[in-house]
Structure 1
Amino acid sequence: MNKLKQAWRNNWVGYLFLSPWLIGVLTLSAIPMIASLYLSFTSYDMFTPPKFIGLENYATMFQDAKWRDSLRVTSMYVFLGVPLQLIFALAIAVFLNRGISGLKFYRAIYYVPSLFGGSVAIALLWRQLFGSKGLVNSFLITLGFETKNWIASPDTALYTLIVLMIWQFGSPMVIFLAGLKQVPIELYEASKIDGASKWKQFSRVTLPLITPVVFFNLVMQIIGAFQAFTSAYIISGGSGGPLNSTLFYTLYLYQKGFTHFQMGYASAMAWFLLLFIACATAILFLTSKKWVYYQE
């Protein structure tokens, strides 16, 4: 007990400076999370007191065809968009790492889309670009190709959102570039003496040594992609259409909670998403032992 008192006396100033953050975590994160966990076992419309119904929300969720559609659409968005985004970001990082002049300028320019990635303005701009009279169709007309309303077609609407994700490659690109700077130049010199081509240098030297950076970007982008909301909401007008082709999981959660006022059901959806992301992240960590190389 005396040791605890002494530790408090020695560290009270630190705790004082940490108190705003601790209060914020408790009031804005921890307490709402605990409340949503309780609400996930209730029937709650935000106007009457919640009524405990056990696992009924979760049972209903697995029988909900629209919920399954939202999970399928989001999974396609994540597992198609994230690898393409990371490949494109790595390609740009490798190009910038070649020692070109004006590196800081190009790095800043390429990072700009990521700064506005989740904004309403960018989503509106994207809807205009891929609309029936948008810039994309105008460009196709000049080339003599047929045009279509990319946003209104269930066959292409999701892919426009994937293209938007790929365009927001700035954040992983900067991290890749930092990782490439840490690769010892001596290894390139040694491989060059051994007659290795540029591709062999990349595949046998560069890529293995930046696998920790690849792993970090992969985890962060997957977590972020599963929570994507703004682009789908703006481009589809909040409906998730056409034919649920852009019905992201978070968008359907929003509809249930704030349009249909089924807050208990929405809370159950939120906790399922949390567990789903946690499982996906755990699988990545378990499999990383086989392909991520850490230097001693």
Structure 2
Amino acid sequence: MMTELPLEQVRTLLAVVDEGTFDAAAAALHLTPSAVSQRVKALEQRTGRVLLQRTKPVRPTESGAVLVRFARQLARLERDARGELGLSGAGEPTRVSVAVNADSLATWFLGALTQVPGLCFELHREDEAHTAALLREGLVMAAVTSSPDPVPGCSVRALGRMRYLPAAAPEFAERYLDGPLPDLLPDAPVVAFDRKDDFQDGFVRQLGRGAASSLRHHVPASEGFADAVAAGLGWGMVPEAQARPLLAAGRLVLLAPDRHVDVTLYWQQWKLDSPALAALAEAVTRTAAGALRR
């Protein structure tokens, strides 16, 4: 019966996941690849579970993700404790990994980070519907997500609603949408962020149609997305904060002034008594309150 998790083995597992290969982890830990492999195998035998998918890069299994998350939390607590005790190495910058969606990153999120000096941030850009998965896998400590259901071991708080407006360049609207919108929009060229982006399809379904056109352009950058719509490449659901100045400048027109799509965003983070995470959470919540709809 397993009575403990050897910290040496757990930290080695984390190094393999972070470095991507056993050889790279060995170099980072100043061990031989054989020693790294033996530690991981010993931990798998101890837990009775396969912990890693031996792919390139290596990825944790569902059971491995639990231990990776534990290892990161342990490292976070250790750094905080060293800082409070004034031990050697305590002066090193505190690194916090966060998953955030591109539209938040482009509009309001960076303003929150500037309010927490002294931290080093490692940001992972991912769709808000998928950021919680990075938290679940232990790859990040916190996430801006559209999921209100807390990841195991995490707390959750609502941030507000990000509004998206159906818009197009005036010339594009005149060319493709000069008539009943429900009839014309499904066939008009459309801009999407990537293959996961279904905002445009969701809006077309609001109008009682099946989906947006298959003639779609993928522009996987928030600022580039808004610029592509304003340039007339296609229509799209543009974040309100980016759409307003373009509307005021006459570069965009609203396709349906009484319609929009709102996405409620949440902040999820580890349940740790960590000053760094607590300070970041307060800054994110405060900034979101001023930027998002309640």
* TM-score class normalised by the smaller sequence: under 0.3
Which has more radius of gyration?
1
TM-score in terms of structure 2 length: 0.24
TM-score by length of 1: 0.24
Report which structure shows greater RCO (CA 8 Å, sep ≥6): 1
Give the strand-richer structure, 1 or 2: 2
